[in-house]
Chain A
Amino acid sequence: MIPKTQNFSDYFGAGFNLADDEPEVYIEACEEVPEMLADDDDGSYRAFRDEFAVHIRDSSYAPWSESDSQWITDEWLRNVWFDAFGPEPPPGDPYPVPAKDWGRRRLTPYMLHAVRRRPEVSSPGAPAWLEARGLTFEDVAAGVEWSATAQSPSFRPAPEGWLERLHDLTARGLRAEQPGER
């Protein structure tokens, strides 16, 4: 889906884009999602969530820089989606992450910033966040251990047929072509 809406940018830009720069604002954005969904009388937050899923489905959220590929960007969006909305993959996701991978075999920004070995130095919201995703502090600690030997702790390799899929989505006008795709 191109272009993205201002409503999407307003909510995505309210912290989900800031894990590198300001992890605490990212953590707050993730932890307040249940409240935002519950108090959404104008429907704008659900619209944001629905559009988020569409961008993952269509590979239409453009990479931040020329050195980021669309695949890595999409994989990162899947991580942010998990951090925000939980273990249910976004509707229409062509490459859903196996549920059992989260934590032990896949680390997200929330896991890397908010969850520490010791609950007392983790984000106060971490126990509830973990519980809502069926995870424990031990699961994330196991993922951090595994990451030392993993090829990539937060991303999968691009699947067979990936570039062809991108070309098709581009041809259908659902996304803009990015450098390095031909």
Chain B
Amino acid sequence: MKMIHAVTALALAIACALPQAADAHKMWIVPSATVLSGDDAWVTVDAAISNDLYYPDHFPAPMDRIEVTAPDGAAVAPENAATGKFRSTFDVHLSRPGTYRIALRNDGVFATYTLAGEKKRWRGTAGELATAIPAAATEVKVSESVSRVESFVTAGATTHGVFKPTNRGLELAPVTHPNDLASGEKATFRLLLDGKPASGIKMTAIAGATRYRDAAGELSATTAADGSFSFTWPAAGMYWMSASAEDNKVSVKPATERRLAYTATLEVLPQ
């Protein structure tokens, strides 16, 4: 179990740390539905790290990093959680109307070093760092990673409470509500970095079901001065929308750089 956890952590680290490429491992959260009606709505959610979207084929996402937030900001406990070989799965009870956020926060420290001529990689928390790297290590490079993977689900009318920024890392501020997306329509969002507009950052969006087509067909946009960017969805489906950035505003002492990532799964419905 411990072993699996360590391997998963490394997979997570790689998924988070590598610059984005169409063929890189992708971390995702995909709900069974994003737009719900009725008085007692539930969704079931898969969370994983994979190559294809949205087919679990690599590692499950760690359940202990899943955070579900109710429309009023309260934490919601995932139900019926299970972690399998390739994916974690859990249910979310939307007991009140409004927009819920299902997020995987993945903040940590990543180090590479050389020990006795051998390249090593380590990932953990800021607290573990001091004892994790042997004193004899050379070429130590420490980076901090702040990453967020999320999706949104709405029962009844859309609300905006869950978009209140935490002012840490990359976050999404909707202009168009992420649960009101339709094919052929333009959707606009804003990207924030530490709560302020994140400009000049490349956003990409890839439609799901990548297994059944030859090319990823990546959409891309660059954030404007106010952090805004837009996509016009060519077809209905689930989209994996992602951005990454680097800076040196580290909060962990020996780290020299900060790697930031934001990913959301958005559902676009037919007209």
- The yes or no verdict on A and B being binding partners is no
> Using a CB–CB distance below 8 Å, which chain A residues touch chain B?
none
Binding site for A on B (CB under 8 A): none
